[in-house]
């Protein structure tokens, strides 16, 4: 009976470890640039028309594939991948701004500036005034 209990405990621990490892791998596989909340943060306070939303979704989808290709390009070192990723992000932002009204652009640019400051500051949010 004691051996059976030990085998069951060992099996449960092994199962829990494999589930935990799988969850960690999933979280690492989803880079920050592709997380939906990143675009939501950039668009916070910007109300889009249905036509604008369709255009923005199209732009995001276009660059999503390009970012994935950069992440998978093993010929580049980490710094080069980051630089190319930043370049794509700026191109995407410029295209999105082309869809926005002047008032929407102001909010979007503020959100972008805030996000860049958080990224450079280790992910901390700036103080709310």
Question: Which pLDDT score, from 0 to 100, does residue 107 have?
Answer: 93
The share of the chain scoring above pLDDT 70, in percent, equals 66
- Asked if residue 129 is part of any domain, the answer here is no
Residue 105: burial class (beta carbons within 10 Å; 0-12, 13-18, 19+): middle
53-97 pLDDT, tens digit per residue, is: 999 999 999 998 898 888 888 898 888 888 888 899 899 999 999
Closest CA to 59 of 29, 18, 35, 88: 88
* Confidence band for 25, pLDDT divided at 50, 70 and 90: very low
Question: Do residues 56 and 111 both lie within one domain?
Answer: yes
Q: Domain span at residue 89?
A: 33-120
Question: Do residues 59 and 77 both lie within one domain?
Answer: yes
Question: Which pLDDT score, from 0 to 100, does residue 129 have?
Answer: 53
The share of the chain scoring above pLDDT 90, in percent, equals 32
Question: Do residues 42 and 87 both lie within one domain?
Answer: yes
* Confidence band for 6, pLDDT divided at 50, 70 and 90: low
- Asked if residue 57 is part of any domain, the answer here is yes
d(CA 128, CA 108): 17
Question: Do residues 81 and 100 both lie within one domain?
Answer: yes
How far is CA 122 from each of CA 26, 85, 90, rounded to the nearest angstrom? Answer: 22, 18, 20
pLDDT at 127 over 70: no
- Asked if residue 74 is part of any domain, the answer here is yes
Q: Which residues contact 38 (CB under 8 A, 6 or more apart)?
A: 32, 115
- Asked if residue 128 is part of any domain, the answer here is no
């Amino acid at each position: 009976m004691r051996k059976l209990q030990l085998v069951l405990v060992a099996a449960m621990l092994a199962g829990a470890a494999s589930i935990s490892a799988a969850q960690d791998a999933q979280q690492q596989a989803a880079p920050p640039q592709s997380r939906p909340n990143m675009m939501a943060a950039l668009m916070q306070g910007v109300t889009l028309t249905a036509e604008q939303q369709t255009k923005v979704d199209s732009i995001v989808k276009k660059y999503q594939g390009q970012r994935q290709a950069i992440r998978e390009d093993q010929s580049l070192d980490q710094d080069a991948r980051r630089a190319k990723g930043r370049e794509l992000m700026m191109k995407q932002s410029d295209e999105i701004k082309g869809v926005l009204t002047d008032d929407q652009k102001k909010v979007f640019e503020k959100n972008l500036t805030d996000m860049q400051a958080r990224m450079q500051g280790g992910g901390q949010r700036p103080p709310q005034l």
